[in-house]
Amino acid sequence: MGTIAVVDYGAGNLHSVRHALELVGGDVVVTTHPEDLREAERIVLPGVGAFGECAAGLRASGFVESLDEEVRHRGKPLLGICVGLQLLAREGHEHGVHAGLGWVPGIVRKLEAEAAGLKIPHVGWNDITATSASRIFEGFRRDTTFYFTHSFHLALDDPSFEAAYCEYGGRFTAAVLKDNVVATQFHPEKSQENGLKLLENFLQWKP
Q: What percent of the chain has pLDDT over 90?
A: 86
Q: Which pLDDT does position 135 carry in this prediction?
A: 87
Q: Sheet containing 122-130: give its strands across.
A: 27-31, 3-7, 42-45, 78-81, 181-184, 171-178, 162-167, 122-130, 145-150
Domain holding 50, by residue range, is 3-204
Active site positions, annotated: 82, 187, 189
Mean pLDDT in residue range 162-188: 96
- Report residue 1's pLDDT band, with 50, 70 and 90 as the boundaries: low
- CB contact at 8 A, 202 and 182: yes
Average pLDDT over residues 100-104: 96
CB 152 within 8 A of CB 108: yes
Distance spanning both ends of the chain, measured CA to CA: 15
Choose between 116 and 130: higher pLDDT. 130
DSSP annotation of 68 reads I
pLDDT in tens, 43-60: 999 999 999 999 999 999
Of 121, 148, 135, 158, nearest to 205 (Cα)? Answer: 135
Q: In Å, what is the CA distance from 172 to each residue of 118, 128, 142, 176?
A: 14, 10, 22, 11
pLDDT at 13: 81
> For residues 116 and 71, what is the distance between their CA atoms, to the nearest angstrom?
39
Structural domains in the chain (count): 1
Please state the separation of Cα 131 from the chain's center in Å. 16
| CATH number assigned to the domain comprising residue 44 | 3.40.50.880
For residue 141, pLDDT over 80 is answered with: no
